């Protein structure tokens, strides 16, 4: 099973699944338990409450569904909308594309607003749609906060601004898969109606939990939604919340204890410090890319993502070869370019439980790989640029001062 | 998080989730990995192939979906059937009831064939329905192989016999959640079209994998199914199987390695030996119940389950008090009576990675609890009856001879 | 490496190493750390202080030496005594024999006071020696608190009484390997000068820590001891205690964190509750032995051990065959008879992190094995006798009331 | 217990204890076992045989003693020598100093041959001693293969050459604590009589095993040694080897399984590849030091160590501040300067289960720290120098080609 063994640590820089911290691995290293004993509901209660904090919500209702981000998407859509409902959805990369594909297959009526890959959501088009929708035929805006394929972060506060400007009642459904717990995210302040993430992203757990927060307005919508669903039906959860037993079907005991540990670590570090750390890692990565003389796939600074950087390579290089080589020679896992940008970009994920020296090791590796594949990089240049920034900005570790 | 700490091992005798063997815990004690590297698909390939063996199928196609048994049910139904399709479904306890509820909410047209709780599926009614369905309006038979709530095992070979007798083309969809890997199960021989289980049952893993095997006929049916689904859509899996990357969305790395280890242990013990072990554990438990002077909720020997025993208590005892006391005083986890049999039965799960002395410890505990709650049991009587049988039937451990 | 795989849990009933609780396994599941960072000394400081509690000492100085019980013995002797010093030492079984062998090989002058195996230390002989030693030629009394080979617990308070009666200044050195954390042990009250145990015994950790507590008087003696030693020299530890770095050589990071977790569990349960639990387990085991019609190797009730029971078998049975069969057929690990009692006794260890149902599973197993080897036991009899006692005496689990 | 929590991995670059690979952590994540069952001796047998390979010995006898390197030293000395025996021993740094201190406290008659810290053993003095010792009063040469405090590797083949040249029968006792499994070591070829290491060094395990290999000549010497010892006495081991039970006292079950996994990983990588990897890591580190304009504590290239580099800092910098800052700001663990070089050097350990990108992350960190403490380093310079070498020399990972 470890037939691809290589000495030393695997350097995991895909934008998910990400590195799991040791305390979380420890917390999950346990036998199963009876989930109907008093212990598991007591634990669940703390989780459902505390997990709201990662959304910055006090009014939301949370769901921990044994599924992935794809299932969390489906849960968000099928609980709040009915077949045929009109949705405005932004296509800006592979993950927004997949979500739109799901929206269409679930029989919603999707206004696809497309941007070039590397650009953010076109909010001008949104504005014109809202401005002309006096009849409120648009039932929901679906937007990916951070498009993992291109490293683009959308401005959610502006979406809320537009909805408010036109007093439009559409629901705001947000994929926060590669943003929540890493980027600034404000569920209540931005009036997000459903936000969701997956456990294997910035929460730094294994895959297996779709984590969803629904606003009071989303819960109201869920009462009249006509979409067919059972496994993803929030009503089943709410029924068991009322009973105090919490689970309509068997949860993963290990992930519940893992989530407890992951939240404890996040709160110990402080959510704002976590976000600041991601900001440092993102900035440092972009400085390295610049020093290498390469372009960021993200076309404007306003969209730069602090969780993943998609790096454009010159046309004479196949970016997939960079990823293969990283794995085969340096025990480094980088993200492939997907779909439209396949072969053109490779991606450095810098999210989750990660620190600066880990990133610098990765950047040093990328430099060697670039040289391997014939790009005339100056070795050390990216590391130097990143270090110069980091050395001025890394704070002391609070617990060690 | 361990605020309910008690010394010694928890004696886990709910019918799922069950005890995880140490080698499986070890295999899962690992960091995340890039699931797009060559390693994970190579592992996935062996898993998809080897997992067929637990179904005794060579012709089936397997799916490892990040979900629970409830999701696996939904996957089986929505991939093979279309809304409005007529199903014959047997209501014999809480889990068949929940599946029927799902079938109805998914807009299938369900002929519910109800039995008393404690009886098996009424196959006479099935025969009469098949006999009168010359027009083949029945599209599927849905049956729970082993009803976990009442400890009833249905005779699947007879279902196949009836379908063949009437040359009826209905699909045979089987919930094997508390049977597969523990009871005799023969996918191909019995002409089962979809069979499914969950990782936390007899496979002895954490919750998180819905494990499905689909016959060639089921795959054909899936091409024309009009049920709306995305997350559970087999087509997405088949597309990635063809690409050789296997996963339409992120799998749990830990569960994949855990499944590898679990299968290795099953094959090392030998699937038939595993089944024989469950047969011993079931028989021993029933002998104890008899010795205690209590009745089995299962009304006839032909339906006795070798994975779970539901024990009826006298009317002056609340079975829930037995379960509470087991946990509060003896660190023993027993199963509650559910729904119609709430307060009337408690359940001893004896499935998964479990041996005879573990069971005898449980039985000794149950005896003390029965006395605690005022039932005049003769201490040692159940253990004696079980031991007398086991002492004659336990084989030597092959690896230690 | 798991080529001796058997399904289910191994039932570990040797008198050490014993079962490790899951929270301790979790605590030890970690990478190495720099033991010169501020973190490890901070941890060490709490350990050295808290570990005194298991000795019931406030005045002692503790040492956590990376060694086994045998090394802890050597440490106790060579730090407090000089070659040629006269020791009174009690030979009552295999472990006292091995300690005496060590005492002799270390060139001490040992008065061996022998008892039949199955009897306690002959304190009458001690009294006569003390009475006639007005010149105080006896420098130390060495006594095993609980002889693991025969299940004999000596009365240490009486040893102290005799020393006081004759105002004798001899040091009192105690092997508490199979007693401390399980039996009533009172370092300060009984005037014990050096007490020691090993991590793999009642503390329920892996092997690897020799845990020693030295009285102020022992520390004074250590200043003039002429025994040659380096690795076991307390002076090196004391030097590093003063420096605040604590370790003269590299400790096991994993065992330090494991010890922290083990102590936390002990204190959560309450040391007196832990001792009461062992008392229950010991009593229950003896009642089972009696019900089987077998004799306890321990010849008088005053010496009965609550951590291990050595069971005499009839002369027509080889007790080693019982142990072999336990392992080969029932996945049960029992203790062999050692040396003089080889073939005559088998041992049931009932110490450490263990609960009542685990013990009852073991006892049920022993009954079947006795039958396997031709002893006419009534199946269930021992379990019944043990249960009858336990059902009246097991308290509710405090954290679950 | 994790009160010094910092996000991301700890970068562990002390020269021991070192990073434990995940497969080894997994192998150790287990309950205790009866070490007298057939399983543990079967495992022990493979370990004692396979561990010879890390010494490149076929004729040696190996011992796995539950102790540390300090205990392994004591075992080597007390089993082969008698009090008063004349030893030639080389003082070249803190660890050779500590070993000499032990030799003296164990009452051997030590000719201390001192070198400046940063130089290797003065073999000219050895030659003159051997040349004038026609009477063979020198019973042993004690030499540290790799002095961890100064990063100096001694030339053992030359020691053997000199002994052979003068046909001198002195035993050759070698501390290979920071060399074996990392540097070229040839027990049989170099006629080493006792070689030893500790589990927490290049074997990449937790602390707890002193690993010793004794030549046939050393075993002969052990028969007449008059040193007092019990715990460290090889005779007790040899007695149990003959019995086939292997252990005179309780081993750590976890470390045995861990050692099995560690050896499997070493053999999978190939011992020569492991050594080549250390050579790359050492060379890369030295190139970085040079690029930073700093001096290596090791005074000549012939003594350069591939497992640890001691870096001299300018006199206006306190090297301890570098180590403190590494831990407090960068979650990086570096080695302090010890004794004579305290405050003057910091050490980068580059041994054990470590790869190139991990090292580059460390070097990038050191650069930032150097800047933090006021040294005018050019950020990126060391990484560039190391990368330029590594990019030309890292092989493809064999299992991934």
> What is d(CA D196, CA D71) in angstroms, rounded to the nearest whole number?
10
Q: Are C311 and C297 contacting, i.e. CB atoms less than 8 angstroms apart?
A: yes
How far is the alpha carbon of B98 from chain A, nearest alpha carbon, in Å?
10
Please, which chains are in contact with B (at least 3 CB pairs closer than 8 A)?
Answer: A, C, D
* Nearest-Cα residue of chain A relative to residue C30: A22
The segment(s) of chain A belonging to CATH 3.40.640.10 are 22-267
Q: What is the rounded average pLDDT of the residues A195-208? A: 98
How far is the alpha carbon of C372 from chain A, nearest alpha carbon, in Å?
33
Give me the pLDDT at residue B184, please. Answer: 98
Q: CB-based contacts of C242: which residues, under 8 Å, 6+ apart? A: none
B109 touches chain C (CB under 8 A): no
Q: Which residues of C touch B23 (CB under 8 A)?
A: 2, 5
How far is the alpha carbon of B22 from chain D, nearest alpha carbon, in Å?
7
Q: Is A277 annotated as a binding residue?
A: no
Q: Which residues of A touch C22 (CB under 8 A)?
A: 29-31
Q: Which residues of A touch B24 (CB under 8 A)?
A: none
Quick one: pLDDT band at residue D100, thresholds 50, 70, 90?
A: very high
The tens digit of pLDDT for each residue in A104-120 reads 999 999 999 999 999 99
| Peptide bond between residue D17 and the one before it cis (omega within 30 degrees of 0) | yes
Count of alpha carbons within 13 Å of A25, Cβ hemisphere only?
25
Give me the pLDDT at residue A1, please. Answer: 42
Name residue A109's beta-bridge partners. Answer: A86
D332 touches chain A (CB under 8 A): yes
The tens digit of pLDDT for each residue in A126-182 reads 999 999 999 999 999 999 999 999 999 999 999 999 999 999 999 999 999 999 999
> What is d(CA D138, CA C283) in angstroms, rounded to the nearest whole number?
62
Chain-chain contact of A250 with B68 (C-beta, under 8 angstroms): yes
Look over chain A and give the mean of its residue pLDDT values, rounded to a whole number: 97
Q: Are D337 and D315 contacting, i.e. CB atoms less than 8 angstroms apart?
A: no
Q: What is the rounded average pLDDT of the residues C112-134? A: 98
* Nearest-Cα residue of chain D relative to residue C66: D67
> What is d(CA C158, CA C56) in angstroms, rounded to the nearest whole number?
18
* Nearest-Cα residue of chain D relative to residue B30: D22
Chain-chain contact of C328 with B384 (C-beta, under 8 angstroms): no
Strands C308-312 and C345-349: antiparallel
The tens digit of pLDDT for each residue in C21-60 reads 999 999 999 999 999 999 999 999 999 999 999 999 999 9
3-state SS assignment for residue C379: coil
3-state SS assignment for residue B110: strand
Chain-chain contact of A25 with C29 (C-beta, under 8 angstroms): yes
Give me the pLDDT at residue C1, please. Answer: 42
* Kind and range of the H or E run holding B173: strand B171-175
Quick one: pLDDT band at residue B1, thresholds 50, 70, 90?
A: very low
Q: Does A359 score more than 60 pLDDT?
A: yes
Q: Which of residues 50-69 of C touch D (CB under 8 A)?
A: 66-69
The segment(s) of chain D belonging to CATH 3.90.1150.10 are 11-18+270-392
Q: Which residues of D touch C16 (CB under 8 A)?
A: 250
* Nearest-Cα residue of chain D relative to residue B26: D26
**If you count residue pairs, one on B and one on C, with CB atoms under 8 Å apart, how many are there?**
182
- Tell me the pTM: 0.98
The tens digit of pLDDT for each residue in D337-361 reads 999 999 999 999 999 999 999 999 9
> What is d(CA A309, CA A312) in angstroms, rounded to the nearest whole number?
10
Nearest to A209 by CA among A218, A219, A196: A196
Chain-chain contact of B387 with C368 (C-beta, under 8 angstroms): yes
Chain-chain contact of B19 with A32 (C-beta, under 8 angstroms): yes
> What is d(CA B208, CA A376) in angstroms, rounded to the nearest whole number?
46
Classify D242 in phi/psi space as left (phi over 0), alpha (psi -120 to 50) or beta.
alpha
Nearest to A349 by CA among A12, A8, A24, A69: A12
Q: Does A3 score more than 70 pLDDT?
A: no
The tens digit of pLDDT for each residue in A310-358 reads 999 999 999 999 999 999 999 999 999 999 999 999 999 999 999 999 9
A20 touches chain C (CB under 8 A): no
| Peptide bond between residue A17 and the one before it cis (omega within 30 degrees of 0) | yes
* Nearest-Cα residue of chain C relative to residue B19: C8
| Peptide bond between residue B177 and the one before it cis (omega within 30 degrees of 0) | no
Angle at B41 between CA A76 and CA A352, to 5 degrees: 50
* Kind and range of the H or E run holding A90: strand A86-91
3-state SS assignment for residue A22: helix
C31 touches chain B (CB under 8 A): no
* Nearest-Cα residue of chain A relative to residue C28: A26
From residue C312, how far is each of C283, C298, C320, D66 by CA, in Å? 17, 9, 12, 33
Question: Angle between the C356-372 and C381-393 helix axes, to the nearest 10 degrees?
Answer: 170
Q: What is the DSSP string of D172-231?
A: EEEE-TTTTTTS---TTTTT-SEEEEETTSTT---S--EEEEE-HHHHHHHHH-----ST
Q: Does B56 score more than 50 pLDDT?
A: yes
Q: Which residues of D touch A354 (CB under 8 A)?
A: 7-8
DSSP B41: H
Give me the pLDDT at residue D1, please. Answer: 42
- Considering chain A, what percentage of its residues have pLDDT values greater than 70? 99
Q: What is the DSSP string of B128-167?
A: HHHHT-TT--EEEEEEESEETTTTEE--HHHHHHHHHHTT
The tens digit of pLDDT for each residue in C366-381 reads 999 999 999 999 999 9
D42 touches chain B (CB under 8 A): no
Q: Which residues of D touch B27 (CB under 8 A)?
A: 26
Protein fold of C22-267: 3.40.640
Q: What is the rounded average pLDDT of the residues A64-86? A: 98
Chain-chain contact of D29 with B31 (C-beta, under 8 angstroms): no
Chain-chain contact of C34 with D249 (C-beta, under 8 angstroms): no
Chain-chain contact of C5 with B371 (C-beta, under 8 angstroms): no
Q: Does B2 score more than 70 pLDDT?
A: no
Q: Are B366 and B281 contacting, i.e. CB atoms less than 8 angstroms apart?
A: no
Q: What is the rounded average pLDDT of the residues A56-76? A: 98
Please, which chains are in contact with C (at least 3 CB pairs closer than 8 A)?
Answer: A, B, D
Selecting from A30, A38, A400 the residue whose C-beta is nearest the C-beta of C26 gives: A30
B315 touches chain D (CB under 8 A): no
Look over chain B and give the mean of its residue pLDDT values, rounded to a whole number: 97
Protein fold of A11-18+270-392: 3.90.1150
Quick one: pLDDT band at residue C284, thresholds 50, 70, 90?
A: very high
């Amino acid at each position: 099973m470890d037939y691809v063994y290589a000495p030393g640590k695997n350097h995991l820089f895909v934008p998910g699944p990400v590195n799991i911290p040791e305390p979380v691995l420890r917390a999950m290293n346990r036998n199963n338990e009876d989930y109907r004993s008093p212990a598991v509901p007591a634990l669940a209660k703390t989780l459902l409450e505390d997990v709201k904090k990662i959304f910055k919500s006090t009014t939301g209702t949370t769901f921990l569904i044994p599924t992935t981000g794809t299932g969390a998407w489906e849960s968000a859509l099928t609980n709040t909308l009915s077949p045929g409902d009109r949705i405005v959805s932004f296509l800006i990369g592979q993950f927004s594309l997949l979500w739109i594909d799901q929206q269409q297959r679930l029989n919603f009526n999707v206004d696809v607003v497309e941007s070039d890959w590397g650009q953010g959501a076109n909010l001008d088009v949104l504005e014109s749609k809202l401005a002309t929708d006096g009849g409120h035929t648009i039932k929901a805006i679906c937007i990916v906060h951070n498009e993992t394929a291109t490293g683009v972060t959308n401005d959610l506060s502006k979406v809320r601004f537009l909805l408010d400007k036109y007093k439009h009642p559409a629901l705001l459904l947000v994929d926060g898969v590669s943003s929540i717990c890493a980027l600034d995210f404000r569920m209540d302040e931005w009036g997000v109606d459903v936000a969701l993430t997956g456990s294997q992203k910035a929460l730094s757990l294994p895959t297996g939990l779709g984590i969803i927060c629904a606003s009071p307005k989303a819960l109201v919508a869920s009462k009249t939604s006509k979409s067919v669903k059972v496994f993803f039906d929030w009503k089943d959860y709410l029924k068991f919340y009322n009973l105090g037993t919490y689970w309509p079907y068997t949860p993963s005991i290990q992930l519940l204890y893992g989530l407890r540990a992951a939240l404890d670590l996040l709160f110990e570090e402080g959510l704002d410090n976590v976000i600041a750390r991601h900001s440092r890692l993102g900035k440092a990565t972009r400085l390295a890319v610049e020093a290498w003389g390469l372009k960021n796939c993200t076309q404007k600074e306003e969209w730069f993502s602090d969780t993943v950087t998609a790096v454009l390579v010159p046309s004479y290089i196949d970016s997939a070869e960079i990823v293969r080589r990283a794995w085969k020679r340096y025990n480094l896992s980088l993200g492939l370019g997907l779909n439209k940008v396949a072969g053109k970009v490779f991606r450095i994920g810098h999210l989750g439980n990660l620190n600066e020296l880990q990133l610098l090791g990765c950047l040093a590796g990328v430099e060697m790989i670039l040289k391997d594949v014939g790009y005339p990089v100056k070795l050390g240049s990216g590391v130097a640029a990143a270090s110069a920034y980091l050395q001025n900005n890394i704070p002391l570790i609070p617990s060690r001062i």
